[in-house]
Structure formats: structure tokens, C-alpha cells
Amino acid sequence: MRQYKYLLTICYFIAFFNCEEEKKTVFSEINITTENNSLVEVNIPEANGNKIVSNQINNKIQNTVISALHIGNPDEITSASIEESITAFNNEFKVFKTDFPESSQLWEAQIDGEIIHQSSELISIALTSYTNTGGAHGILNISFLNFDSKTGQSLKNNQLFSDVDAFKEVAKPYFNKVLTEKNIILDNTLFQLPANIGYTEDGIVLLYNTYEVAPYSDGIIEFAIPYDEVEDYLVFNSL
């Protein structure tokens, strides 16, 4: 009888940990602010479910937001949380107003995130940030974050493809088509994949932020490639 109870205990723990591993990641939207904040609005997804998976996803989102709110050298980020970054952004504005009291320029920062794809294999999240710190115009930046659904591991672009060169050959005509439609003249013989690639309902989206390959006036360059054209080169299934 004692041995029977021991076996039951082992089976219970095995079942418990299996359930934890298979628990699906779900997302809710959260708003983050601080006391005396009047400049920053942050609305981002928060992962819940398996703690190991969700913690890795949430940490990557947090670090991306902290980086977006940082003013100055990106190698000198000291904030350990989004709340600290919001406070630091407001404090920087106070310093600006002290140094330039005659300026009527208002600072602002808006960061929004959304789940653009979620399957049993991969999660893609888009974070859109707009910051204005008194320059001629604000800075709009979109970041795609990709994660392994099973582990929560953050994925680099080269981890999305089994054959990067073959994927580039498919992507290049799409890139050239957008340039033609927007009357952008670039040396397309130097074609490179963008920093931001993500999975969406429409296919694999490639997005070049302002200044990445073209002047500010040309704006963001973005296009989608249907999955059926590149599925042979993808590591992760889109379904």
C-alpha cells in the first residue's frame, strides 16, 4: 500500500508538470504609468500561462519599451523597469524646460503593442513607438518581436528561415515593386532583409523603418509575402 501511494505521488507530479508545459500562452493588454506622469502612454500585451514561457516574452517586451523610452546613448540605459523609464522620460523633460524655459515644445511618447500572429509554434508581436523630444519631428518606430511558442525564446531573424538566401531571392521582387510604387530610387543591387520580419495573417511581413534604407520623407517601407511562396524556407509553421 505504501508503495502504491508513492507511485500515485510520482504520477501526480508528472501530470502537474506536463500540464504546466502544455499550458497555452494567453495575452491581456496592460497600461503602465507612474505617479505624476503626463507625457508617456504605454499599452502593451502581457503574456500569461506557463511561467517560464511568459516571463521570457514579458521580459523581452519590457526591454524593448525601456529602450524606446531611453534618451541618449543606448549603451547607457540604467532603468530596470518600464516605470523607471517613464519617470526618467518625464524628468528629462523637466530638465529641458529648466534649460529652455521659453520653449513651447511639448514632449510625448506613445507605445502600443499587439499580437499579430500566434500559432502552436510561433508568436509575433508588433510594438509601435512614437516619441517626440523637441526635434523637427517625432520618431516613429515599429519593432517585430518573434518568440518560440513552446519555450518563449526570443528569435533572431536568421532563426526564422532554413535558407535565408533563398528567401531573399523571393523577397527582392516585392521590395523592388514597393520602391517603384513609391517612386523611391535606391541601389537595389544591395538588397538586404530588414531588421523587422514577422508572421501575420497575410504572410511574412518585412518592414523597413524610417531611415533604415531610405530618407525620412519616404516613410516606412512594408510588404507581405504569402506563406505559400516561402513555406519551403520557413523553420516555423504558420498554422
- Tens of pLDDT, residue by residue over 68-108, are 999 989 889 999 999 999 999 999 999 999 999 998 888 99
Residues 131 and 230 grouped into a single domain: no
More confident residue, 232 or 13: 232
Question: How many domains is the chain partitioned into structurally?
Answer: 2
For residues 162 and 233, is the Cβ–Cβ distance under 8 A? yes
Residue 53 identity: V
Say whether pLDDT at 24 is over 80. yes
Whether 224 is in a domain gets the answer: yes
**Residue numbers of the domain that contains 202:** 157-239
- Tens of pLDDT, residue by residue over 2-22, are 444 444 444 444 444 444 455
Query: Distance (Å, rounded) from C-alpha 224 to C-alpha 199?
Result: 9
- Tens of pLDDT, residue by residue over 29-68, are 999 999 999 999 999 999 999 999 999 999 999 999 999 9
The confidence score (pLDDT) of residue 188 equals: 65
**CATH code, 115:** 3.30.565.40
Residues 89 and 187 grouped into a single domain: no
Where does a domain end: 108, 138, 155?
A: 155
Quick one: which of 127, 110, 114, 137 has its CA closest to 40? 110
Residues 136 and 166 grouped into a single domain: no
Where does a domain end: 155, 178, 199?
A: 155
Whether 100 is in a domain gets the answer: yes
Local confidence band at 110 (pLDDT 50, 70, 90 cut-offs): very high
Query: Distance (Å, rounded) from C-alpha 220 to C-alpha 204?
Result: 16
Whether 88 is in a domain gets the answer: yes
Say whether pLDDT at 236 is over 90. yes
Whether 108 is in a domain gets the answer: yes
Residue 1 cell numbers, joined: 500500500
Rg (CA), the chain: 22
Residue corresponding to grid cell 517601407: 221
Where does a domain end: 121, 155, 189?
A: 155
Angle at which helix 82-99 crosses helix 51-69, to 10 degrees, equals 10
Query: Distance (Å, rounded) from C-alpha 182 to C-alpha 222?
Result: 11
For residue 135, give the 3-state DSSP assignment. Answer: coil
